[in-house]
Structure 1
Amino acid sequence: MGFKAAKADPCLYIKGSGNSKVLLLVFVDDLCVICKEEGEIEQTIKDLHKEFKLRYLGKIKNYLGVEVEHLPGGGYKLSQKAKIEQLVQRYKMEGCKPVKALMELSYQKGGDAESPEFSEEIYRSLIGSLQYLGNWGRSDILAATGLLSRHVEKPTRRHWQASKRILRYLKGSRDWHLTIKPENGLKLTAYVDVDWAPDITTRQSISGHVICLGGVVIGWRSIRQKYMFLSLTEYRALSLLCSELTWYKQLVSDMGVEVQGPIVVNEDNEACITMVKSQRART
């Protein structure tokens, strides 16, 4: 059919150029065909029909649990409201009281040893569902679910209560959405920060970053650093972000998007910024 796998992502296939460029995104048995020309989309679907048995669902409205609303004048609104409501029903929390804070301030002070054990199967299932939401649109819950995911092997009732609190938070914010409508030119920008040694047991720091294209959030990550450092945590987080930015730059390049100007990375730690500017950091 003339498609070639993208360099950045082997599940993204590309053919053509200009307005006739077709992007074919494959996720297991779910396909998404993208092109500016409607005729090219129809032809691609006909060609796929010749090779595979498939069902055409029309203009995209839902993809992998993410509801897609087409905005007037271009752009999209991505929501996971239906997915959240299904999750609330599954765990019988329709009548719960919503909360505005994801976690209680006292959670990281400990107390796991005094809490009775809880079902690993139920807990693991909920955490997996929460991580799916966080990875596909609700970046605001990613750090909290990351903390709770460390206990999927031996959860306690305390961990279960903390995970249900995230559900209560999601119930109260289920109408939140992500708007995809670049307005500031197609420039890549990024923001990075670190929560230094919040875990009283390991004292490992947590890195977090957000990546934007044209002012629109396209990527995010929250991850615990593998080792404990006294002064290099911010620099390690910046290093990780820059590594990921090379992948994002390649991805948008594969899709035919030319990144405008240098990539601006926003970092608020003066020692880290000084180290980046130094000759030692560059070598």
Structure 2
Amino acid sequence: MQQSTPIIFDTGAKEVDTIPESAANSTPAAAESSPTAETLPTAFEETDAVAQSLRRARKNPAWMMYYESVIREEKWRKAMDAEIKAIKRNDTWELIDLPDKHKIIVTKHGTIRLLIALAAQNLWLIFQLDVKSAFLHGYLEEECPYEPTFFVKIGEDGRMLIACLYVDNLIFIGNNKGMFSDFKRSMMNEFEMSDLGKMHYFLGLEVVQSNDGIFVSQKKYVQNFLNKFKMQNCNPTNIPVEFGLKLTKAGSGKKMDNTFYKQIMGSLMYLNATRPDIMYIVSLVSRYMECPTEIHLLAAKRILRYLQGTKDFGIFYRKGEKVDLIGFTDSDYAGDQDGRKSTSGYVFMLGTEAVSWSSKKQTVVTLSCTEAEFVTATACVCQAIWLRRILKKL
């Protein structure tokens, strides 16, 4: 049984560059680091054209565009018809307002990564079930302020089954094949479910399970992302951000289309699920979504150029490593050029692989570097408590 272990905090930890080629060894072209007056108009005229084409293509909402494309395929029509029939047959839901003081709770990506790391360490396979109808079966007779998404069952002789649920997707791991069979049989008898076998794709994460470990990435998502924003043929760069880059709300250059900019930011934020190497810069450039300028868009497009050269990057969880949970935290004192707020950052490692990370601007203005470190350490401790509670159940 996995035991919870002490958390080690290194508040003096320095940022480690995990990029294969050092920034010191790369000399960006002048157009990359400091665009000239001659190069800016061409680059941004092209960006405006892309934004305009996206707006023309998206006169309808995004979901409607995707619906119109898939409704032509028979396999998708059958899948939608099956789900609608299941919903009607079970009389499963009634639309209401969210009760006061209640929140919608879902599974975090951090929980998924932690389960993957545990599965790799204990040489367990990860299996997946898909629920045809994503709604509850039967009536609730009592108030339900939250919906559990993480379940642990411990049987005799140390047998264990761990299940994690996200809407209509369910993954489970454990150390006993008999419990697997009983669990799948009971779930498929109670609900209409499909057995997908070993997990390969979950919440946008591509999972490859091998004899050496488990590799998690978002390669397909990155390629679709670059294609969407016409960056599939861009020149790659070695690092996602210029060294010493400082951004402000005023920025420099003309104002850009904020809808186009928000689309880029939304896609980048979802990519943070497997790419801690871009967490800091994505957090930085996402602060300027309301009124982006040319300099902000240049910083965002540099991230896309970095992704062009690192599509295959992900996290590899090695099998058989019995290691401790270790946390590192640091802060950037008064790094925000507009409000003088600091940036908090932390990362938790289960062995040599990261399972949880964050980079966020602090909500208060601190008056000293020490105070900024305390604010950062507080956020890190909250995450540590959550991770330890999960491990304690195991």
Report the TM-score, using the length of structure 2 for normalisation: 0.58
Q: Map 1:266-277; keep pairs closer than 5 Å.
A: none
- Matching residue of 2:188: 49
Structure 1 Cα separation of the partners of residues 319 and 384 of structure 2: 18
Q: Map 1:60-139; keep pairs closer than 5 Å.
A: 60-73=199-212, 75-105=213-243, 107-110=245-248, 112-134=250-272, 136-139=273-276
Q: Secondary structure at the match of 2:267?
A: helix
Does structure 2 conserve the Cα–Cα contact (< 8 Å) formed by 1:19 and 1:35?
no
2:330 to 193, 196, 199: 193
Runs of 4+ in 1 over 6 A off after TM superposition: none
Does structure 1 conserve the Cα–Cα contact (< 8 Å) formed by 2:325 and 2:350?
yes
Deviation at 1:133, TM superposition (A): 1.0
1:38 to 174, 177, 181: 177
Q: Which amino acid aligns with 2:185?
A: K
Percent identity over paired residues: 28
- Matching residue of 2:355: 218
Structure 1 Cα separation of the partners of residues 325 and 251 of structure 2: 45
- Matching residue of 1:156: 293
Kindly report the root-mean-square deviation, in angstroms, between the aligned alpha carbons of the 2 structures. 2.3
- Matching residue of 1:278: none
Sort the Cα spacing of 1:115 and 1:38 in 2 relative to 1 into closer, same or farther, 3 A.
Answer: farther
Is 1:250 matched with 2:389? yes
Deviation at 1:127, TM superposition (A): 0.8
In the alignment of these two chains, the number of paired residues is 247
- Matching residue of 1:267: none
Deviation at 1:222, TM superposition (A): 0.7
- Matching residue of 2:284: 147
Does structure 1 conserve the Cα–Cα contact (< 8 Å) formed by 2:247 and 2:337?
yes
Between Structure 1 and Structure 2, whose CA radius of gyration is higher?
A: 2
2:314 to 177, 182, 198: 177
Is 1:241 matched with 2:380? yes
Q: Secondary structure at the match of 1:23?
A: strand
Does structure 2 conserve the Cα–Cα contact (< 8 Å) formed by 1:25 and 1:33?
yes
Report the TM-score, using the length of structure 1 for normalisation: 0.79
- Matching residue of 1:13: 151
Does structure 2 conserve the Cα–Cα contact (< 8 Å) formed by 1:151 and 1:159?
yes
Does structure 2 conserve the Cα–Cα contact (< 8 Å) formed by 1:204 and 1:227?
yes
Structure 2 Cα separation of the partners of residues 58 and 69 of structure 1: 13
Superposed CA offset, 1:121-180 (max 9, x none): 22222211111111x110111111111111222223332222121111111111122111
Sort the Cα spacing of 1:251 and 1:126 in 2 relative to 1 into closer, same or farther, 3 A.
Answer: same
Superposed CA offset, 1:226-258 (max 9, x none): 22222311122122212221111001112x1xx
Structure 2 Cα separation of the partners of residues 252 and 199 of structure 1: 35
- Matching residue of 1:272: none
Sort the Cα spacing of 1:112 and 1:105 in 2 relative to 1 into closer, same or farther, 3 A.
Answer: farther
Sort the Cα spacing of 1:43 and 1:208 in 2 relative to 1 into closer, same or farther, 3 A.
Answer: same
Sort the Cα spacing of 1:223 and 1:114 in 2 relative to 1 into closer, same or farther, 3 A.
Answer: closer
Q: Which amino acid aligns with 1:185?
A: K
Q: Which gives a bigger RCO, structure 1 or 2 (Cα 8 Å, sep 6+)?
A: 2
Deviation at 1:84, TM superposition (A): 0.8
Does structure 1 conserve the Cα–Cα contact (< 8 Å) formed by 2:214 and 2:319?
no
